[in-house]
Structure 1
Amino acid sequence: MATLIAIGYPDETTATAASQEASRLAKDLIIQPDAIAVITRDNEGKYHVTTNHHAVGGGATWGMFWGLLFGMLFFVPVLGMAVGAGLGALTGKIAKNAINKDFQERIRDELKPGTSALFMVVEAVTPDKAVEALSKYGGTVLKSSLPKETEEELQEALHGSQG
């Protein structure tokens, strides 16, 4: 089962530094994030999103996932592209059903003007390693598990069927 991890930081720069560390740890196989995104909110309240997609296929798909997720959480239109009906329905399902309301509210409360957050989708065997490795950056950690069925549908959309 995959876990969506969000770590909120009290400034605009720490999430970017933490994402660079997460990418380095992924190259060293210490953690295994499927996708990484950073969202910052400047002092005027405007959101800025940076993503680092999975290296094998599906980069645009992860972009759509983040776009719909952040759109739902913060009303931020991240993507200007049309989403295919099947993928749009899947991503909408993930955003609406897989992420509980408490998690959504806590994220919204955490990301005030002048702050940032790191988001990662991590396989269930490694979320604790990810959090431990990034603990030197501080921040508030929030986690939400993605249901197995939703994870399988997302993986199939990202990488094609395995059969």
Structure 2
Amino acid sequence: MSTLTVWKFPEADSAQEALETLEDLQKQQLITVHDGAVVSWPEGAKKPKTRQLSNMTGIGALGGAFWGMLFGLIFFIPLFGLAIGAAAGALGGALSDAGIDDSFIDQVKQKVTPGTSALFLLTSDVVVDKVVPAVEGLKGELIHTNLSDAQEHKLREAFHEE
């Protein structure tokens, strides 16, 4: 089963650093990153910069339309190449199926602000006892996951979140 997680970081370049750590862990076969996107919002910028992890896309990847729709909803970034109407409705349904609703969108809007960054990931095959120690020092805050409550509690506990 794939897990969608969203992590917020206190600096505009921290999400990219976290991604580099995860890429190293993937090379060691400790996690599989199917897809993702980095959001970086430098201090003073009117809107964040977004980048899909296109080099990691493959089977199970969410695709550019998913990320475009998601970031358009969250940050009001124009949706390039996205057909209006049925396609938007279908993607809206896909977002809801992944647990991405108005509450999620509001939460990300409140937390990802100028001077911060975020990492959106679709992962599987995580070797938790190896991955958690490797990412503990990154100071990421888990904003969202589609894990079960028990799994999410364990993950938050590992990062000492309340």
Q: In structure 2, how many angstroms separate the alpha carbons of the residues matched to 1:74 and 1:81?
A: 17
Residue type of the alignment partner of 2:143: L
Q: In structure 1, how many angstroms separate the alpha carbons of the residues matched to 2:94 and 2:127?
A: 19
Q: In structure 1, how many angstroms separate the alpha carbons of the residues matched to 2:134 and 2:126?
A: 11
In the other structure, the counterpart of 1:26 is 26
Moved more, 87-96 or 24-33: 87-96
Aligned residue-pair number:
144
Query: Which residues in structure 2 correspond to 1:139-154 (within 5 Å)?
Result: 139-145=140-146
How many angstroms does 1:144 deviate by? 2.6
Secondary structure of 2:63's counterpart equals helix
Q: TM-score under structure 2 normalisation?
A: 0.72
2:39–2:117 contact (8 Å) kept in structure 1: yes
Answering whether residue 108 of structure 2 is matched by residue 126 of structure 1, we say no
Q: In structure 2, how many angstroms separate the alpha carbons of the residues matched to 1:135 and 1:52?
A: 22
Question: 1:99-157 CA distances to partner (integer Å, 9 max, x unpaired)?
Answer: 1433322211111111111110123x5395655532221121122318xxxxxxxxxxx
Aligned residues with identical type, % of pairs: 27
How many angstroms does 1:95 deviate by? 2.1
1:3–1:144 contact (8 Å) kept in structure 2: yes
Q: In structure 2, how many angstroms separate the alpha carbons of the residues matched to 1:25 and 1:136?
A: 15
In the other structure, the counterpart of 1:137 is 138
How many angstroms does 1:88 deviate by? 4.6
Q: In structure 2, how many angstroms separate the alpha carbons of the residues matched to 1:130 and 1:92?
A: 32
Q: TM-score under structure 1 normalisation?
A: 0.71
Name segments (4+ residues, structure 1) moved above 6 Å. Answer: none
Computed over aligned residues only, the root mean square deviation of the Cα atoms, in angstroms, reads 3.0
Q: In structure 2, how many angstroms separate the alpha carbons of the residues matched to 1:52 and 1:114?
A: 21
In the other structure, the counterpart of 2:157 is none
Q: In structure 1, how many angstroms separate the alpha carbons of the residues matched to 2:13 and 2:144?
A: 21
1:9–1:117 contact (8 Å) kept in structure 2: yes
